């Protein structure tokens, strides 16, 4: 199963915050208040995680995605690409 969602605005390839998201967010959002969203570091390859399974040498990213979280009760037990 594939899921598609807008992660956030960023013109620096999500390696560090660009501040672009502030222009598009509503005034009471975290991004509007703080000038960045944590999603803006999603493709910082220095922060990949590994070691969850000793035979699995793939590296992973841990992230919270609101569009998926809001329907998580429908997705329990499912595996999908984002």
**Rounded CA separation 74/43 (Å):** 27
pLDDT of residue 5: 66
For 15-72, how does the pLDDT look when each residue is reduced to its tens digit (9 = 90+)? Answer: 788 888 778 777 788 888 888 877 777 777 777 777 767 777 777 776 677 777 777 7
pLDDT of residue 11: 87
Mean pLDDT, range 2-17, rounded to an integer: 76
- Kindly state the tokens that stand for 69: 């979280």
Q: What sign for the dihedral angle of Cα 30, 64, 68, 4?
A: positive
Q: Write the CA distances from 57 to 8, 20, 45, 61, 81, integer angstroms.
A: 28, 34, 15, 13, 18
Q: Domain of 19?
A: 1-82
Strands (E), 3-80: none
Structural domain count, the chain: 1
């Amino acid at each position: 199963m594939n899921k598609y969602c807008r992660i956030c605005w960023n013109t620096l390839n999500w390696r560090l915050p660009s501040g672009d998201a502030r222009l598009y967010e509503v005034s009471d959002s975290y991004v509007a208040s703080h000038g960045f969203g944590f999603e803006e570091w999603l493709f910082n390859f220095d922060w990949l995680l590994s070691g969850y399974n000793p035979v699995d040498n793939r590296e992973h990213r841990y992230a919270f995605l609101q569009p998926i979280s809001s329907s998580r009760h429908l997705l329990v037990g499912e595996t999908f690409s984002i």
